[in-house]
Amino acid sequence: MDAVSRSRLLSGLQPTMFRQSKYLQVFSVGLQDTFVYRWNFLLRSFFSIVPLIGTVFIWRAIFEARGRGIEGYQYREMVFYFLLTVLVDNLVSPTEDEWRIAAEIRDGQISALIIKPLNHLAYRTSLFASYRSLYSLVTLPVVAFLFFCFREYLHLPVHAVTWPLFGLSVLMAAFLQFFVAYSLAMMAFWILEISTVVFIFYSFEYFLSGQVFPLDLLPHWMQAFVAYSPFTYEMFFPVQVYLERIQGAALARGLAFQCAWMIIAFFVARTLWRSGVKRYQAVGG
C-alpha cells in the first residue's frame, strides 16, 4: 500500500468506525489500492504459464521414457496436478506482503500504525484478503484460458462433498501462508534486511509444498516427515483434496493438521509482533 492510500485510510478511521467496521474500511481501501496495479497482476499471472508449459514437457518425456505410471499418477493426472497448483497458487499466495510490512518497519512508517486504534495483524489480514480477492478476480481469465487449453486433462471430483472440503482447505492454506509471511516480515524488527531469511525459507517451501513435484513421489520415510510440516498444507494438501487422493480418516486428519498449523502460525505471528513492537519502542525512545 502506497503512502497516499495509507494516509487516506488512517485519516478515515475516525468516528465512522462505529457505523462501519474499521477493518471493512481497510479492506475497501486495499481493493482500491490493488486495482491500480491490475495490469501488473494480469501480466504476472499470464507469464506464470511459461514454467507450467516447461513442466508439462518434462513430465511427458519422463512418462514416455518409463512407459508406465509413477506412484499412481498417469501423465494426464500429473498434468492436472500442476494445473491445480497454478489455480491454488493464484488463490492463496501472498502478494509480497512480507516485503511491504518489512519496508514499513525498516522505514519507520510503522510508527503511524502503532499509535492508531488498530490491531496490526487484523489490519494486515484485511489488506491481504482484499489483495487476494482482487488478484484472483483479475487473474481468473488467464487461469480459465489455461484450463481451456488443457481441457482434455481435466476431470471433476466424484463426490459432491469434495467441493466444500477443497474450498475449506484452500481458505486455510491462504491464511497459513499469510501468517507465515507476516512472521517473516517481523524479523525486520531485529535485522535490517530480511531477504536472506525469506530466500532460505521460501527455498524449502518451494520444494516441500509440492510445487516442483507431488510430495507422494518422495521416499516413504521422507513422506512421513514432510506430512507433519506446514509446507505440505500450503499447496500440496488442497490439491490432493480436490483430486480425492486423500479420503476418509486420512482426509479428516489432514484437515486437522492444516487447521493446527494455521492456528500455530497465527500465534507465532502475533507473538513476534508484540515482541517486535516492544523492541521498536525501546530503540526508538
**Model-level pTM?**
0.84
Give the three cell numbers for residue 240: 490432493
- pLDDT of 13 over the 50 cut: no
User: What is the C-alpha separation between 90 and 96, in angstroms, rounded?
Assistant: 13
What's residue 233's pLDDT?
95
The amino acid occupying position 214 is P
CA triplet 257, 183, 26: central angle to 5 degrees?
100
* Mean per-residue pLDDT, 1-24: 51
* DSSP codes of every residue in 40-80: HHHHHHHHTHHHHHHHHHHHHHHHHHH-S-BTTB-HHHHHH
What's residue 16's pLDDT?
43
- pLDDT of 238 over the 90 cut: yes
Tens of pLDDT, residues 77-120: 999 999 999 889 888 887 778 888 888 888 888 888 887 778 88
- pLDDT of 15 over the 80 cut: no
What's residue 167's pLDDT?
95
* Mean per-residue pLDDT, 8-26: 54
What's residue 145's pLDDT?
84
